[in-house]
Amino acid sequence: MRRAWQRTVSEWVEGLRIALSSLAANHLRTFLTTLGIVIGVMTVIAIVAIIDGLNASFATQIGNLGTHTLYVDKWQWINTRDDWWSMRNRKNMGRTELEAIEREATEALAVAPMAGRSVTVAAGAEELSGIRCTGTNQRYLETGGGSVAAGRFLGPTDVELSRSVVVLGADVADRLFPKVALDEVLGKRVRVRGAPFTVIGVMARRGRMLGMDLDTNVTIPFTTFLRDMGGKRSITIAVTSAPGRLSQLEDELVGILRRARRVPPEKPDDFSMNRQDQFLKLYNQLTGALYGVAVGVGLITLVVGGIGIMNIMLVSVTERTREIGVRRALGARKRTILLQFLIESSVVAALGGAVGTGLGLGVAVFVALVSPLAAAVTPGAVALGLGFSALVGLLFGIWPAWRAANLDPVEALRYE
């Protein structure tokens, strides 16, 4: 048993040595042979790295909506033109629905109304236009609204008394009060749509979500928003559940809202339940086909590279026919010859795979640096590049290796 094991290890080591010697002796041919594998692996790795990066970036952005939060609204986030016209005629969502949810929803951990519009915010001579103003309550942060970097968020008294207080987004604070420490911004007076407000807090930086900047906004009490900016507009109600209870919360809210809005039993819901996984499903649908096509192109390139390996290995078998005959005459077994050529084809492909993997990751990182596209370098992508290229070399090397192993020793010795 030990002798058999030693002989197997010896055959592998000798086969690897011969393979490397052959590749080094024909370096130009080796380079041209591996070129197809390099291009194929580079394409696949770059695509996988970019798509993995986009997936991670998109999941992070969607996480800003709150993993366990439902958004009750008149409008459905994702809809067709026909859906839009039907939703346009729905009643606005307002305080009646908000109070019903706060009173009856046993599955709700936090309920926060959200009303918004674009406003002008000013401080001294500095004026910013197109700033998103959100009216909400003290539970907003619990539904996925971010966190406070300085000062405090809205409190129950601010909402009850309709106080003129405001929490600034990170970019708004930076632009209105440049080079001023966040703690020193607190207590400053700003004008929101011309009305004076006192700054009580500054939000932590959140970045972007679906192309929308989450740091160029201001937040004021919900009641103040309705008083100063119109109380007839439809609102969105964010409702958070305990982990794993989102479906139960949705079922409960449907019943509460149908009663509050007096929807007859035979009529469909005249409101929408929006959640983050709707965006994830749409994203997966949009990118799934693209991902398949792009990877398919890379795999086709790999197959073409594999055919090149098979061709060059057949040439190698022909060139080394006499060598094979000598080795067989000296006692080399068919298995040894077969293993030698399989190792050689796998080494060629693995070498191309290693170079292609490095280039693919480099392309992905370069794309991430010069464009908005993200890239994620994962161990899985590296293993995919190396493993699949070696597999291609093994599969396309079987026929040349089998042919070499089955050469007739006498005929091989006669070959000139």
**If you search the block for the tokens 């079987």, which residue do you land on?**
398
With 0.75 as the threshold, say if the pTM is over it.
no
pLDDT at 6: 62
**What pLDDT, on a 0 to 100 scale, did the predictor assign at position 196?**
94
- For 344, counting Cβ atoms within 10 Å of its Cβ (0-12 exposed, 13-18 middle, 19+ buried), the class is buried
Q: pLDDT per position in the chain (416 positions), as tens?
A: 566 566 566 656 665 666 666 666 666 666 777 777 788 778 777 877 777 777 777 766 666 666 788 888 887 776 666 666 777 778 888 888 889 998 998 888 889 999 988 999 999 888 999 999 999 999 998 887 788 999 999 999 999 999 999 999 999 999 999 888 888 999 999 999 989 999 999 999 887 766 677 889 999 999 999 888 876 788 889 998 888 888 898 889 889 988 888 888 888 888 888 887 767 676 777 677 767 776 677 777 777 777 877 877 777 777 777 777 777 776 667 777 777 777 777 777 778 888 888 888 888 778 777 766 667 666 776 777 777 777 777 787 777 778 777 777 666 666 55
* CA 152 to centroid of chain Cα atoms: 33
Q: Rounded to the nearest 5°, which phi and psi values hold at 233?
A: -75, 155
Burial label, 196 (beta-carbon count in 10 A; 0-12, 13-18, 19+): exposed
User: From CA 85, how far away is CA 94, in angstroms rounded?
Assistant: 20
Angle at 183 between CA 178 and CA 189, to 5 degrees: 65
